A and B are shown apart, each in its own frame.
Chain A
Amino acid sequence: MDFYLTALLQGLCFSAIALGIYISMKIFNIPDITTDGSYTLGGAVTGIMLTHHQSTWVILPVVIIAGALAGALTGLIHTKLKINALLAGILVMTGLYSVNLIVLGRSNLPVSDLPSLFNSFHLIADPNQNTLIIISIFVIVITFLIGYLLKTDFGIAMRATGNSESMIRALGVNTDRMKITGLALANALTALSGYLIVQFQGFADISMGIGIVIVGLGSVIIAETLINWFKITNIWICLALVLAGAVIFQLVLAFTLAMGVDPNLLKLVTAAFVLLIVSLPRLSFNKAS
């Protein structure tokens, strides 16, 4: 059972990435893969600051700002230099690898015996359940903030930017600035996942971000399938489904491992799983027509 609890916890850690991808991909309609770099950046900043005995609450805003800067850079390259968003993301992601290595100072940094977010409170004796409570509160707060933001006038303008650019420009919104803000927000959330994971697993690693974008994409695609299935328009339910998507994704991977699949095949299984979810609605749609 502990095995699945760990998967649940990991899923909750990844829910920030899922929210970030939801913002860049679904709300702004921008395929942003700065993710791999900004996730590791969040992790690297957390790791190095923990070893320098900084409080987890001091690290939190630094991680958010670092992630936001990475996203804003991608946004600037995309909007001001008119470079394809995918390429802009790849460029920043590639550059960030070196930045992360410099921040981390080495390729792997253990932080497990240092004070972290998860051992700063002791609400319950069982450490796993204690972690579950802390991380749940953390994720609920983030989700609430994002949900509120999307409900505000600014949030409506954000949603319109990815939906009908000509309309929102005619209504007086600077779409370039809006996209830069959106990508900054998305990558700040991604960096938050790095912050959570490093403290959860007890180490920061330079390769922790490789292929992480698929975790976010997979979660969002699971959520989107459910959203389309049940024709949901309520923002709160959409966000809740994105969180559920992140958890389901990790549970499926845990289940795969539990079945005895070679861990070396994990990325292949992940890719196949995402492909399956993406193609499921289309397969059934084809049958109908």
Chain B
Amino acid sequence: MIAINDIHKVFNKGKANQVNAVNGISINIKSEEFLVIVGSNGSGKTTLLNLVAGSVFPDKGTIVIDDNDVTKLADHRRSQWIARVFQNPMSGTASDLSILDNFRLAALRTKSKGLSIGINDQFKQQVKDKIATLGMGLENKIEQPMGTLSGGQRQALTLLMSVMDTCKVLLLDEPTAALDPRSAEVVMRTADKLISDFKLTAVLITHNLKDAFTYGTRIIQMGEGLIINDLDGEKKATLKQNDLFEWFG
């Protein structure tokens, strides 16, 4: 689904504060694979994710999504395949807009936003039904501004928004980093359920080794802009939580 070939990214090239964020990574992420990326701060995880999303462009190398070379495609054009959940709940939703408006935009992620009014009773019902599956009681608050909700509720809704329109790839950049443990668990369970229900290819960055152990079908560890460990399938399944701790030992 995602083929990354010898990708490099350097920030502030030639200056004193030069950062070699990604140093020639090649990885093939298969369809319906749930890849977990771990690694210490500054190992290049977020840069790699941003390269896939198109928020930053590589200095060298190519990125292919679903057989399309997207290396030079801007982020808003890659949205036809990719949905994102950000670390900051504010980044994934618009605070001043109602929950309904946010969902309307999400439902048009791969389509054009035209000059007709798309929110009708049928759409409202569809959103209510979707939100009811979260079991948070938010289905009766769809006219409320997104900003009135807690971080956990917003992250859960951002996840739901990603499957409002056809979605192939879901990128999760530390989606639970800003949340309390209980909300974090709800968000991670929701993500896991959506990924398997909608047969998504997913990439999760996390610092929570318990999550890294619990979720995903493949795990990689990054360091210094390179992949230093890569376990998939059977190896990921038989991986012990203590082995993971030793990676960071």
Q: How far is the CA of A172 from the CA of B90 in the complex (A)?
A: 17
Q: Which of B75, B93, B98 is in CB contact (< 8 Å) with A169?
A: B75
Contacts of A168 in B (CB 8 A): 94, 105
A interface size (C-beta, 8 A): 23
Q: Using A153-B108, A167-B91 as known contacts, list a sample of 5 further A-B pairs with CB atoms less than 8 Å apart, ordered by residue number in A.
A: A153-B105, A159-B101, A166-B91, A171-B109, A172-B111
Q: How far is the CA of A70 from the CA of B117 in the complex (A)?
A: 29
Please, which residue of chain B has its CB at the minimum distance from the CB of A148? B117
Is A289 interfacial (CB 8 A cutoff)? Answer: no
Is A160 within 8 A of B117, CB to CB? no
What string of 1s and 0s marks CB contacts (under 8 Å) between B155-185 and chain A?
Answer: 0000000000000000000000000000000
- Residues of B115-154 contacting chain A, CB below 8 A: 115-119, 143, 145
Q: Which of A149, A153, A170, A175 is in CB contact (< 8 Å) with B83?
A: A170
Is B53 interfacial (CB 8 A cutoff)? Answer: yes
Q: How far is the CA of A104 from the CA of B25 in the complex (A)?
A: 62
Listed residue (A149, A153, A174, A233) with the most chain B CB atoms within 10 angstroms of its CB: A153
What string of 1s and 0s marks CB contacts (under 8 Å) between B91-103 and chain A?
Answer: 1111111100110
Say how far B55's CB is from chain A's closest CB, in angstroms.
8
Is A241 interfacial (CB 8 A cutoff)? Answer: no
Is A175 within 8 A of B76, CB to CB? yes
Listed residue (A159, A163, A167, A171) with the most chain B CB atoms within 10 angstroms of its CB: A171
Is B108 within 8 A of A163, CB to CB? no
Is A167 within 8 A of B92, CB to CB? yes
Contacts of A233 in B (CB 8 A): 98, 143, 145
Q: Which of A167, A170, A172 is in CB contact (< 8 Å) with B53?
A: A170
Is B45 interfacial (CB 8 A cutoff)? Answer: no
Is B8 interfacial (CB 8 A cutoff)? Answer: no
Is A160 within 8 A of B145, CB to CB? no
Q: Which of A152, A163, A166, A175 is in CB contact (< 8 Å) with B116?
A: A152
Is B113 interfacial (CB 8 A cutoff)? Answer: yes
Q: How far is the CA of A163 from the CA of B114 in the complex (A)?
A: 19
Is B90 within 8 A of A160, CB to CB? no
Q: How far is the CA of A118 from the CA of B114 in the complex (A)?
A: 35
- On whether A169 and B113 interact (CB within 8 A), knowing A156-B105, A159-B97, A164-B90, the answer reads no
Q: Which of A151, A164, A172 is in CB contact (< 8 Å) with B94?
A: A164
A sample of 20 inter-chain contacts (CB < 8 A) reads A151-B119, A152-B114, A152-B116, A152-B118, A153-B108, A153-B113, A154-B114, A154-B115, A156-B113, A160-B101, A160-B105, A164-B95, A167-B86, A170-B75, A171-B106, A171-B108, A172-B109, A174-B74, A175-B76, A233-B143
Q: How far is the CA of A163 from the CA of B116 in the complex (A)?
A: 21
Q: How far is the CA of A174 from the CA of B108 in the complex (A)?
A: 13
Contacts of A148 in B (CB 8 A): 117
Say how far B82's CB is from chain A's closest CB, in angstroms.
8
Is B20 interfacial (CB 8 A cutoff)? Answer: no
Contacts of B119 in A (CB 8 A): 151
Contacts of A160 in B (CB 8 A): 94, 97, 101-102, 105
Contacts of B109 in A (CB 8 A): 170-172
Is A157 interfacial (CB 8 A cutoff)? Answer: yes
Contacts of A175 in B (CB 8 A): 76
Is B79 interfacial (CB 8 A cutoff)? Answer: yes
- Residues of A147-201 contacting chain B, CB below 8 A: 148-149, 151-154, 156-157, 159-160, 163-164, 166-175
Is B110 interfacial (CB 8 A cutoff)? Answer: yes
Q: How far is the CA of A115 from the CA of B84 in the complex (A)?
A: 57
Contacts of A169 in B (CB 8 A): 55, 75-76, 79
Say how far A140's CB is from chain B's closest CB, in angstroms.
19
Contacts of B97 in A (CB 8 A): 156, 159-160, 163
Contacts of B102 in A (CB 8 A): 160
Say how far A230's CB is from chain B's closest CB, in angstroms.
15
Is B115 within 8 A of A152, CB to CB? yes
Contacts of B116 in A (CB 8 A): 152-153
Say how far B240's CB is from chain A's closest CB, in angstroms.
36
- On whether A153 and B114 interact (CB within 8 A), knowing A164-B91, A170-B79, A170-B84, the answer reads yes
Is B46 interfacial (CB 8 A cutoff)? Answer: no
Is B235 interfacial (CB 8 A cutoff)? Answer: no
